[in-house]
Amino acid sequence: VARLLAEAKAEQPSAVRELGLAAVQVWQAVAQGRHGETGESTIVFTDLVGFSSWALDVGDARALELLRAVSTASEATISRHRGRVVKGLGDGLMAVFGDPAAAVEAAYETCGAVSAIDLGGYRPQLRAGLHTGRPRKVGRDYFGVDVNIAARIADAAAGGEVLITGDVLANLDPGRFTVRRRRRFRAKGAPSDLEVFAVVPRYDEA
């Protein structure tokens, strides 16, 4: 692990962070014995588009105000759809759901709730990525290939967009969602044959 971390220092800082986090998670799994496979779960990652640049302009106080508002809106929506927030990730979060349809609806509604926040004329844009699989569990956290795929999908989404993999789509009722395939999808760390779709729930009119 030390050798990999040393080699990664020549790469971008995120690579160092990812390797360091993976090393800690593996150590926890082996040393503490609180690890194992989970049942099938849908993993959701979210983050704010353009947050870093905006935060540099407005300063820490305004940035923290926005993050609190985003966290409150996100956690309320996820809880309402029976999901669980696994951890905060600065300007986003990771959540897990047992029901893929509920995960998609929660992600879409969270993006909408965040876009309704108005902070001095600034309206943030949240994006989300989802993948269904069997991640490894360490304590209350999760790690593994399925987690990495969900994170990469979120990175590829545009502001206000919810992207899902074919594994999520396979568990959805096609009558409840509008789906559009993302052609020629490529993301570092994701399988080359991964199918990705933009999805929007269809809500019945009252």
Amino acid code (one letter) for 136: R
Q: Where are the domains of the chain?
A: 1-33, 36-201
Angle at which helix 100-115 crosses helix 60-80, to 10 degrees, equals 150
CATH superfamily of the domain spanning 36-201:
Nucleotide cyclase, GGDEF domain (3.30.70.1230)
What pLDDT score does 205 carry? 52
Determine how β-strand 136-138 pairs with β-strand 141-143. Answer: antiparallel
What's the count of helices (H) and strands (E) in the chain, helices before strands?
7, 10
What pLDDT score does 186 carry? 77
Using one digit for the tens of pLDDT, what is the confidence trace for 45-77? 999 999 999 999 999 999 999 999 999 999 999
What pLDDT score does 37 carry? 56
What pLDDT score does 157 carry? 95
Please report which confidence band the pLDDT of residue 187 belongs to, taking 50, 70 and 90 as the band edges.
confident
Mean residue pLDDT across the chain: 85
What pLDDT score does 90 carry? 87
